[in-house]
Structure 1
Amino acid sequence: MRDSGDRFRRERVSPTSPRLILRRVMVLAEGRQFREAAAVLQKLGPNTIAAVAGELPLDLLVEGLPHSAQLLETLFNKLIVSGQRPNINADQVIWQLVRLLASHDDPTLKTKVAKLAKALLEYQPNFHMEILSRKKALEQALQGLGCHGLTPNVSGLTHLHAALKTELQLHIDVYKSALHRLDELHLISVDNKKPVDASHQRLLSLKLKEVQQRLIDNKTLLTILDKPALKQLEVLVGTLSDRVQNDKEALFCVSQLKRLQPVPEDIPVATVLMSFSRGCGALLDLMQIPHSPCHSDTGYHSETENEQDIGKDVISKYESLYRQYRPRALEALNSMPDLMHATQLKSKILFSVVVLAFRTCKTLREHKLLQTYRTLNLDPHSTKFLSLRLEVMRCLAASAESYPLQEAENQVLGLVCETLKEYKCLEKCQELRRYAEEATKIAWQLVCQVPPYELDTDFQTPVRLHPEKHQRHHTSSRSSDIVRGFLWPALISESNYVYKAVVVTDGT
């Protein structure tokens, strides 16, 4: 005990270099002297705090939460004041707080981590949208778990599988009856295969009795096949599809949560989802984003403020595309035998979908603008009509969420499949199709904003990591600042990076 005390006293001597400061902080943290370690960081200048933060083993401090909250709060506050943004993985702090708030009943826990939560929000404002997005995903998955109740059919409420069996049996009976009727009417014979029987000239030469008989025959078949009850199958299949998707969403959320902490197999899935949803909600409450009067729900909104609010919303959707839809698509690609070992190819496919979606949507936007000019017989190159372009852009932005994009979505997926013809499995991957559809919808909303958002298409590698436009993927080596690959493109608005590119760095 005396040796430990002597060691702490020796460490209190003022350090002279970032290396010594780092060692001192770690010695104090290992001895759970988090208050004293925070005092050491509090005295550091801007350059020194950035150097120390870049080398600090943040995961060890995260494990010490909530006791290390003051130390982490001091670290992030100092970085905020200094204006420095070293490439540290602050996400792990956020999700450790969510885990603690989800599983602990300590009434003092919120008080202990409240200041840290606000410091994290100020350090990285998009944390709020990230947590909110995760909370919504958990709530939707939880809601989907309860959508497996009884299904209405002609006899009342019953289980979906029983309704499907009844409906399929009805279809079988009707189809057998129709086949039998076709045989009775002798409508199918070898002579019917002659193309001349269906020629336009032959059909126009039919006599009255022949047309009447054709009507009777077709009406007889229609009476057998066109039954209201037969239309129930499509509804039941749709319900079955929704239930499959709901369970996939729930299991995907659980697999994501398993990365934060082990999830016992014997605990109900709903309990796990509710617990972490509650943790996300508690952390959002602690962050408590202040709302100014001009951003209230009832006050006046200027046009600029409305555009800014819409802009924040579409940026959050772009983030959601990366954090929610991309992992699902990647999981689906991982399950395909043909792509099992093609790790880099799978990442490139998902990256390419986003880039192609933006290019396709920009082309579509320019085509619609050009159509407008041609309709009004205006010169699209004339500077006199710039205001018209802005108004048309605003109209496109206002209707972006409901704009029909099926052709563009098919084009994006078609380009990917055409480029990788040897991988036929891509054409049948429903998750990849859903990912391409969502990427196209979000890209359309982004390129139609005023001003429009752009992707940073500078994907040159190797290049040195720039903190203002790159964020390191959590699996990357932190000992190197050389970018070896891009996992996600950066989003730009008027030369400002509103969402950083996710990159891979290594020391090779």
Structure 2
Amino acid sequence: MRECGDRIRRERASPSSPRLVLRRVLVLSEGRQFREAAQALQKLGASSIAAAASDLPLDLLVEGLPHSAQLLETLFNKLIASGQRPNINAEQVVWQLVKLFSSLDDPTLKTKVFRLSKAILEYQPDFHRLLTQRRKSLDQAIQGLGSHGLMQDASGLTHLHSALKNELLRHIDAYKTALHRLDELHLVSSDSKKPVDASHQRLLNLHHHDVQQRLIDNKTILTILDKQALQQLRPLIETLATRVQNDKEALFCISQIKKLHPVDEQIPVAKLLMSFSKGCGALLELMQAPESPCNSEGYHSEPESDCDSGRDAVERYAALYYQSRPRALEALDSLPDLMHATQLKSKILFSVVVLAFRTCKSIREQKIREVFHVLKVDHPRIAPAQSLREETMRYLSASSDTFPLDDAENQVRSLVCDTLREYKCLEESAALKGYVREVTRAAWYLVNQVPPYELDTDFQTPVRMQSNKHQRHHSADRTSDMVRSYLWPGLHLQNICVYKAVVITGTT
């Protein structure tokens, strides 16, 4: 240890020729003195930085992240300034940063690597596209993992394999019946291949009785084979093929992650994919940020605060669909009156979201009017009044977890129950009450943001699916782009879609 320290002290006092500077950087890096190594590297000129970059142990520096961030940032900035692009594997820096964001819960990590993320993006702008594509693949794989749920069968919801078995049995029975009927009607004989029976001249000479009998025979066979129940095999096969592809994509993503670092196969696949997707997202946010999110003392700037607030708002809304809605749907399945009413249950949960937003907006406006009345604000459109409105909304948003919303929740639940009076079970359903409470809380938070979030209330059908505002449900017909129904409304911020509506596509 003393010998290593002596070497570092000697290198600090060394001359600044390119060869000795590089040697000093190597020695300081081996001793994990990355800040001093960055200062030494800064002395290299533009003509010698490319050669030095090729000799630097990039693997060692990457393993030293986030502590080596300043040294790597200096390296890439000097390469950018020199206009040179030596043959170094800069991509490994990107994936190491993604790994850190996915595995470390360090609130200071963004501060440590912010400048490095900007430098490496400027050094190779294509990294942004690479990260975006990888994150999209991960998110699609996560969504695919959740597409192995129950299927709608003639008997209700069931597993895909059970639905396939039932469908195949129905086909077998129908085919056996059709074969037996063909034999009974003597429609197939040993000489049926003779063309004379189907000649054009003979067909035009058939009498009324012959045509009538032919119609009866063909209609008999058609009735056996052309049943609505026998039309479900192809969609089931397509669903099976989709699920196979989804699992292939998920395992492919895991294999890509394994190339970066060892993976514990005891950890759920979805958890691994989500953590890595989170890492890609965090690094993309740093690359896209117009300014540093925090200064050297660790204070966060306004852009990152706004970004975090916006991300939190959208995540709250997404949690309603991915967490609250499935729990509520499962609970409503246990109600005898609603057990087989699949579409009705989906419409109930959808309506709660729309009603909650409408109710919360109404209450917000009422509270703002009360504030204006108390403060004698007679002109609500002047600048001070608009500032007061925004501050009031911010307060209502900040106090959303404790703000009394019992009246709003009761109003939403009453509207649903009054519309469906024949289903008395809804009035006593604790699951519906809990779902209304979660949705109303989230809606209250969203409508009180500045600027406020709005639901996309354009529920027109049929309409062609738009990739910028619709996402197809996993059970929908992927061969059709016509939207037939909505499972979940989209969310907009200043007329920009921040969460796509979940839709069912299909043909008429």
User: Which secondary structure state, in structure 2, belongs to the residue aligned with residue 36 of structure 1?
Assistant: helix
The answer for the alignment partner of 1:49 in structure 2 is 49
After superposition, give the CA deviation of every residue in 1:437-488 in whole Å (9 maximum; x if it has no partner).
xxxxxxxxxxxxxxxxxxxxxxxxxxxxxxxxxxxxxxxxxxxxxxxxxxxx
Find the counterpart in structure 1 of residue 285 from structure 2: 285
SS at match of 2:107: coil
Distance in 1 (CA, whole Å) between partners of 2:14 and 2:221 is 95
Kept in 1, the 8 Å contact 2:21–2:43? The answer is: no
Contact 2:69/2:116, CA 8 A, preserved across alignment: yes
Q: Distance in 2 between matches of 1:260 and 1:7?
A: 33
Secondary structure of the residue that 1:193 maps to in structure 2? coil
Q: Which amino acid aligns with 1:98?
A: V
Counterpart code for 1:161 = H
SS for the counterpart of 1:47 is coil
Aligned twin of 1:172: 172
* Contact 1:118 1:286 (C-alpha < 8 Å) held by counterparts: yes
Give, in whole Å, the separation in 2 of the partners of 1:260 and 1:134.
Answer: 13
Aligned amino acid, residue 166 of structure 2: T
User: Per-residue deviation at 1:232?
Assistant: 1.0
> Partners of 2:263 and 2:119 in 1: how far apart?
29
| Count of equivalent residues | 293
Residue identity matched to 1:96: Q
Cα distance in 2 for partners of 1:185, 1:100 equals 74
Paired letter, 2:45: G
- Please state how far the C-alpha of 1:15 moved relative to its aligned partner: 5.0
Q: Secondary structure, in 3 states, of the residue corresponding to 2:125?
A: coil
The equivalent residue for 1:149 is 149
Map of 1:81 onto structure 2: 81
Q: Corresponding residue for 1:185?
A: 185
Amino acid at match of 1:203: L
1:362-395 deviation digits (Å, cap 9, x = unpaired): xxxxxxxxxxxxxxxxxxxxxxxxxxxxxxxxxx
Gap runs ≥5 in structure 1: 292-400, 403-508
After superposition, where does 1:388-427 map in structure 2 within 5 Å?
none
Q: Is the 8 A contact 1:100 1:279 kept in 2?
A: yes
Residues 202-246 of structure 1: CA deviation (Å, up to 9, x unaligned): 323333322222111111111111100100111111111111111
1:218 and 2:202 aligned: no
Instruction: Determine helix, strand or coil for the equivalent of 2:243.
Output: helix
What SS does structure 2 have at the residue aligned with 1:191? Answer: coil
**C-alpha separation in 2, matches of 1:226 and 1:120:** 62
Retained in 1: the 8 A contact 2:151–2:160?
Answer: yes
What is the distance in 1 between the residues matched to 2:108 and 2:2? 32
Amino acid at match of 1:108: T
What is the RMSD computed on CA atoms of the aligned residues?
Answer: 1.9
**Which residue of the partner structure matches residue 119 of structure 1?**
119
Q: Deviations over 1:4-47 (max 9, x none)?
A: 23212322344566444332211110001111111111111111
1:182 aligned counterpart, secondary structure: helix
Question: How much has 1:113 moved relative to structure 2?
Answer: 0.7
Which whole-Å CA distance do the structure 2 matches of 1:76 and 1:198 have between them? 81
TM-score w.r.t. structure 1 length?
Answer: 0.56
Structure 2 partner of 1:8: 8
Q: Which residue of 2 aligns with 1:137?
A: 137
1:286-334: per-residue Cα shift (whole Å, max 9, x none)? 112549xxxxxxxxxxxxxxxxxxxxxxxxxxxxxxxxxxxxxxxxxxx
Distance 2:205 2:57 in 1: 89
| 1:290 to 1:207, Cα distance in 2 relative to 1, 3 A | farther
Deviation at 1:200, TM superposition (A): 2.6
Give how far 1:165 is off: 1.0
- In structure 2, the residue matched to 1:253 is 253
Q: Distance in 1 between matches of 2:247 and 2:259?
A: 19
Q: Give the alignment of 1:329-340 within 5 angstroms.
A: none
Q: CA deviation at 1:143?
A: 0.7
For the residue of structure 2 that corresponds to 1:46, the secondary structure is coil
Q: Deviations over 1:156-179 (max 9, x none)?
A: 111111111111111111111000
| Cα distance, 1:39–1:223 mapped onto 2, change above 3 Å | same
What SS does the corresponding residue of 1:283 show, helix, strand or coil? helix
Where does 1:415-454 land on structure 2 (aligned, <5 Å)? none
1:85-124 matches, within 5 Å, as 85-124=85-124
Task: Give, as a single letter, the amino acid of the residue that structure 2 aligns with 1:101.
Answer: F
Deviations 1:248-301 (A, max 9, x none): 11111001100111111110001100100111111111112549xxxxxxxxxx
Amino acid at match of 1:258: K
- Runs of at least 4 residues off by over 3 Å: 13-21
* Structure index of larger Rg: 2
TM-score, normalised relative to structure 2: 0.56
CA contact (8 A) 1:18 1:51 kept: no
142-151 or 4-13, larger mean C-alpha shift: 4-13
The percentage of counterpart residues that share the same residue type is: 73
- CA contact under 8 A between 2:138 and 2:273: conserved in structure 1? yes
1-side partners of 2:202 and 2:80: how far apart?
84
Task: Give the Cα–Cα distance (whole angstroms) in 2 for the partners of residues 122 and 77 of structure 1.
Answer: 9
Residue pair 2:54, 2:86 contacting (<8 A) in 1 also: yes
1:152 match: secondary structure: strand
Q: The residue matched to 1:261 in structure 2 has which SS?
A: coil
Q: 2: CA distance between counterparts of 1:207 and 1:57?
A: 94
Shift of 1:196: 2.6
Corresponding residue SS for 2:44: coil
Instruction: Indicate whether 1:265 and 2:265 are aligned.
Output: yes
Distance 1:200 1:19, change over 3 A: farther
1:237 aligns with 2:237: yes
Q: What is the CA–CA distance in structure 2 between the aligned matches of 1:156 and 1:36, rounded to whole Å?
A: 69
SS in 2 for 1:157: strand
| Matched AA of 2:70 | Q
